Amino acid sequence: MIRVAIIGGGNVATHLAKAFSKTKDVSLVQMYARNNQQIKHLKQLVETTNNLDLLATADVYIIAISDDAIAKVSEKLTKKNGFVVHTSGSASLSALKNNGRKGVFYPLQSFSKDKEVDFNEIPFCLEAENKEDFKTLEKLAKSIGKNIYAINSKQRKSLHAAAVFVNNFTNHMYKMGADICEEHQVPFEVLHPLIKETAQKITTLSPEESQTGPAKRNDQETIQNHLTLLTKEQQKIYQLITKSIQNNGKKL
């Protein structure tokens, strides 16, 4: 059994704590948050503390905090704290400043506080300094999931950038679509089936093969009609993406 302590009280830390508490292969020994109020709802699952000096003994310490705080927090962990990993997609392995062993345990997903997740559907991108530590992370990931990838720091940064495009930027497009619908008194829910179909389609076709629409067809009449409906800011984004599609995704 792998003993785990989680450092952090945000969405990732909370979801990992809930998942680990349900598996017999992991003993969740403690959870740390600078503000105990963040994790008070987890006290029935795990012992909590707001003092790093009182961290319990564990096999793996998972730092699940903002990227800019990883160095500061990890350097406070001494060698006796053993194997320390972070969960960031954009921070490198070297962001950890502890004197002991280092690794990365990155679940590639967008986590929201009140939205349950299925870790069996989430890829785990793992990195460690040696084979034995990687095996430990692999066992840890397999205790709650099944999609395991060995991804180094450089690959993980590029993967995180790609994730921003397919998740954060795409969600912003949903927001803009919702704004247009609201402006013209059309229920946004009418677009839900299209959103689902678009997401489902790229599991069987490549994004390039899936591309449709007026930009792909170079339908200038439709494009110009759309532009007349949009605000100046929406027009800029519409024209930029249209040009990118017509250039087949190449640099503008």
Task: Check if the beta carbon of residue 103 is closer than 8 Å to that of residue 127.
Answer: yes
Query: In terms of Cα–Cα distance, which of 37, 35, 82, 19 is closest to 55?
Result: 82
Across residues 44-51, what is the average pLDDT?
A: 84
Summarize pLDDT for 188-205 with one digit per residue, the tens.
Answer: 999 999 999 999 999 999
What range does the domain containing 171 cover? Answer: 156-246
Residues 64 and 131 in one domain: yes
CATH number where 11 lies: 3.40.50.720
Cα–Cα distance for residue pair 103/122, rounded to 1 Å = 19
Number of structural domains found in the chain: 2
Residue 175 lies in a domain: yes
Give the number of other Cβ atoms within 10 Å of residue 62's Cβ. 27
CATH number where 210 lies: 1.10.1040.20
Summarize pLDDT for 84-110 with one digit per residue, the tens.
Answer: 999 999 999 999 999 889 999 999 998
